[in-house]
Amino acid sequence: MDSRSSCVVVTGFGPFRQHLVNSSWEAVKELSKLGLGNDMELRILQLPVDYREVKQRVTRIWEDLQPQLAVHVGVDPAAKAIFLEQQGKNRGYRDPDIRGFRPERGVCLPDGPEVIASRVDMKAVSRRVAVEGVAVAFSGDAGRYVCDYAYCLSLHHGNGYAALIHVPRLSHWLPASLLGKALQVIIQEMLEETEKARLKAR
């Protein structure tokens, strides 16, 4: 078995703007308590909402750990559901990060393609998973901020074996424990889709 067969990296984001507690990281911490089962090694990492730091850390994830799948979790404050993002976009990053920095010309990968799609079929995953208490939906536009930037980089370095999940803000009805359980169910399903994609690619 190769080094990509047993490690999954899941990242959440740190505080930004008015979000002093980022539900994405709270959900990832809950997931780490649950694990992914099947002897799957789970590594978690908090990313700052900082384009330059994200570029370094995402590159290192793929160079050092070579995961079977990298899953990036971000918060969508307006969302009422969990969204599975099918693709990362290369251009349009004009909103400043927590340090006031914007990527040059709003580009993630100079000379890169406009769009990079995940090898995970997010529509199929969103149809199959059921999480009591929260809806799971498909999305084709991840919103052009640091989470989409991280996703585009990860898809590039990981040859499409990456995912981005947007979660809503925490609330009385949607605690971190429920989001963590939802991540577990979703990522287990994504791993099945990943295996199908690898078999097709052989």
Active-site residue list? 85, 147, 166
CB atoms within 10 A of CB 114: 9
**Interhelix angle 51-60/146-157, nearest 10 degrees:** 30
DSSP letter (8 states) at residue 16? B
Sheet holding 7-13, edge to edge: 41-47, 7-13, 69-75, 162-167, 82-85, 136-139
In the numeric block, the tokens 């939906």 are attached to 137
Outline where 35-163 has alpha helix (H).
Answer: 51-60, 122-128, 146-157
Query: CA 158, CA 155: separation in Å to the nearest integer?
Result: 5
